[in-house]
Structure 1
Amino acid sequence: MSFRMIVGLGNPGSEYADTRHNIGFRVVDAFAAKHGAEPWKKERKQKGEVALLSGSKFGKLILVKPTTFMNESGVCVQKLCSYYKIPPEEVVVVYDEINLDVGEVKLSMSGSAGGHNGLADILSRMPPRFARIRVGIGGKPDKEMPLADYVLGKFSSDDESVVSASMDRYVESIELLVALGPDLAMNQINRKRKNDDSNSI
């Protein structure tokens, strides 16, 4: 199985840039910067920003940040898959996960949206046969707090330090998946880490 499209989920606009919900954008931005992707370009018809990566050890990859708001992320993904003729099996979606601690990351190949509106919209528009890289943002500190308020809030200074320190690991998760395929990558990404050892690609 080969992967050709990496989609980071988030909301457009500077006011959302550092919110928990935009961690998908941040990870894909970091991946693009590390591997020298072309500058991001707005594809208005496809409702997303696209950066092409070619000539790398990963082959040609299409990096995507939807410019719809989170709840309509699937519009962009569906349009770009159609435009580039990419099946769901060759798509990776990177997004925030409240059921993982800050600094954690997990790879899965199936499952429900789990309350994530961006993922739910993608699942409503295309078959669920795509890879999901879930980046932990931690759970709500107060059960009564509306979920929208939490995910649209910014990380605390302590959590932001953890996110910054973990960014290499988040990027490495994409690298492992693209280079090794889901089975081998899952063994490395999802295992319990005893320390900060790394299996960089």
Structure 2
Amino acid sequence: MFLIVGLGNPGERYEFNRHNIGYRIIDAFASELGLGDWKKQGIYHNSEILNVEHMGHKAHLMKPGTFMNNSGVAVHRYLNDKHLETENLWVIQDETEVPFGEVRVKFGGSSAGHNGINSIDQEVGSGYWRIRVGVGRPTNDQPLSDYVLSNFTAQEFEQLGKVIDQVVAYLIKSLEEGTITSQTFNAKEN
């Protein structure tokens, strides 16, 4: 049993922000698997939850209802209540240290300044899988916090569908195999 978390901020205001790529990918993943509507669960800080069984493997999907910087609170509560091990946690996140369109999957490591990951690390430790989706860095003197809360550019939007599709395909394959592996791929070139 896995818990697959897509990080983001709740609310329409943030829907197309770079910081919400985790929400967008997990929505596309749920759609590709033909799952129904997300269910808000107050006990998990209004997180949206879906359950999936695919090719004999079960997973819970979560979009934390906390804002990004407090994601760990909802994740910790869910892991505890469902008696899930931290190593069975897969977190989909935006990553400014990775070029736009590149995806790096790794186990553990530092938060690299990502406040959502830092929150999860503080609550459950760092022994879980991260699907780090590159959103690039600002090319000017824009503060990083403003950059991740800004929308993708028109050019990025043209390529974003490919990125999301590649990550969804990777997640489906990983769920089918019941395992996830470290790797790097450039989704926008595939």
Residue matched to 1:9? 7
Q: Which amino acid aligns with 1:173?
A: Y
Residue matched to 2:37? 39
Cα distance in 2 for residues equivalent to 1:25 and 1:134: 13
Q: Which amino acid aligns with 2:184?
A: N
Q: Which amino acid aligns with 2:163?
A: S
Alignment counterpart, residue 97 of structure 2, candidates 93, 96, 99: 99
Alignment counterpart, residue 137 of structure 1, candidates 135, 138, 141: 135
Residue matched to 1:175? 172
Structure 1 stretches of at least 4 aligned residues deviating more than 2 Å after TM superposition: 175-182
| Residue 155 to residue 191, structure 1, CA distance change in 2 (3 Å) | closer
CA-CA distance at 1:177 after TM superposition: 3.0
Report if aligned partners of 2:105, 2:132 keep a CA contact under 8 Å in 1: yes
CA-CA distance at 1:37 after TM superposition: 2.1
Cα distance in 2 for residues equivalent to 1:58 and 1:169: 22
Residue matched to 2:155? 158
How big is each residue's C-alpha offset from its partner over 1:48-100, in whole Å with a ceiling of 9 and x where there is no partner? 1101112x215221000001000000011001111111110111000000111
Residue matched to 2:184? 190
Any unmatched runs of 5+ in structure 1? 197-201
Report if aligned partners of 1:102, 1:162 keep a CA contact under 8 Å in 2: no
Report if aligned partners of 1:75, 1:122 keep a CA contact under 8 Å in 2: yes
Cα distance in 2 for residues equivalent to 1:50 and 1:175: 18
Residue matched to 1:59? 57
| Residue 76 to residue 156, structure 1, CA distance change in 2 (3 Å) | same
| Residue 146 to residue 92, structure 1, CA distance change in 2 (3 Å) | same
Instruction: Give the alignment's Cα RMSD to 1 decimal.
Output: 1.6
SS in 2 for 1:190: strand
Any unmatched runs of 5+ in structure 2? none
Query: What percentage of residue pairs aligned between the two structures are identical?
Result: 35
> TM-score normalised to the size of structure 2?
0.92
Cα distance in 1 for residues equivalent to 2:18 and 2:72: 19
CA-CA distance at 1:191 after TM superposition: 5.1
> TM-score normalised to the size of structure 1?
0.87
Q: Which amino acid aligns with 1:121?
A: S
Cα distance in 2 for residues equivalent to 1:15 and 1:119: 21
